[in-house]
């Protein structure tokens, strides 16, 4: 019995080792299968940059105000009709400029005299962009307005009166004389009338396709 004991013990150890070897081999040879929810999909991040412009309504008016560092402000009106736009910027005294150009696919590219320029885009709520006048530039936001707000003009013998009416009924305007000098335009009433050179006149509402300036 003393001799059989060690032999039985060795046999048991050998048998256990054989079982462990088979188990280990079966683990190593078993193919690994991915869990259904373990697949990770990598997507490229969204592109960054300026938001996509939204097409303009068939006909619309927008008005905004640009504060000046020296005090006062420039009022800006943009009239859009179809694929064309007309804009007017003035400070109610000496600064004024008419600009015209395209309004395609929600983007504005307008130009005027003396290298005046306006670039902008419509985001579905307002027009945002940059205005260049006299070697200076300003960012702007112009919100939509409803009549009687908008842009008005009256021409008489080479003298032009121009007005912007904002959403609150406020009026900013400039008179440009035949010699090119400027001065504040006369008051414009709610019915688009004014007294010019001693007579009562009715100003014309400007649309995007109108040629002015």
pLDDT at residue 15, rounded to an integer: 42
Q: Does some domain include residue 39? A: no
Q: Does some domain include residue 27? A: no
CB 212 within 8 A of CB 206: yes
Q: What is the pLDDT of residues 103-149, one digit of tens each?
A: 999 999 999 999 999 999 999 999 999 999 999 999 999 999 999 99
Indicate the range of 11-15, 109-113, 146-150, 153-157 predicted with least confidence.
11-15
State the CATH number of the domain containing residue 103. 2.40.160
Nearest to 77 by CA among 93, 107, 97: 97
Q: Bridge-partner residues for 138, per DSSP?
A: 131
Q: What is the pLDDT of residues 18-73, one digit of tens each?
A: 333 333 434 443 333 434 333 333 333 333 344 578 999 999 999 999 999 989 99
Q: Does some domain include residue 149? A: yes
- Domain span holding position 170: 59-205
Assess whether pLDDT exceeds 60 at residue 12. Answer: no
Q: Does some domain include residue 72? A: yes
What's the number of domains the chain is made of?
1
Q: Does some domain include residue 99? A: yes
Q: Does some domain include residue 78? A: yes
**Rounded CA gap, 10 and 101, in Å?**
100
Q: What average pLDDT does the chain have? A: 82
């Amino acid at each position: 019995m003393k001799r059989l004991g060690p032999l039985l013990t060795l046999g048991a150890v050998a048998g256990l080792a054989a079982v462990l070897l088979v188990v280990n081999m079966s683990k190593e040879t078993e193919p690994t299968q991915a869990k259904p929810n373990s697949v990770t999909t990598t997507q490229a991040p969204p592109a960054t940059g300026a938001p996509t412009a939204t097409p303009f309504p068939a006909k619309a008016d927008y008005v905004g105000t640009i504060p000046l560092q020296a005090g006062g402000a420039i009022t800006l009106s943009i009239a859009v009709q179809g694929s064309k736009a007309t804009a007017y910027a003035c400070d109610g005294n000496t600064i004024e400029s008419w600009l015209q150009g395209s309004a395609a696919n929600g983007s504005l590219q307008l130009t005027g005299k003396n290298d005046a320029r306006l670039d902008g885009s419509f985001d579905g709520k307002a027009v945002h962009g940059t205005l260049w006048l006299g070697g200076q530039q300003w960012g702007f936001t112009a919100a939509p307005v409803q009549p009687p707000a908008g842009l008005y003009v009256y021409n008489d013998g080479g003298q032009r009166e121009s007005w912007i009416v904002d959403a609150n009924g406020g009026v900013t305007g400039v008179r440009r004389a035949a010699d090119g000098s400027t001065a504040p335009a006369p008051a414009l009433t709610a019915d688009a009338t004014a007294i010019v050179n001693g007579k009562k006149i009715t100003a014309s509402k400007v649309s995007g396709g109108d040629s002015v300036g």
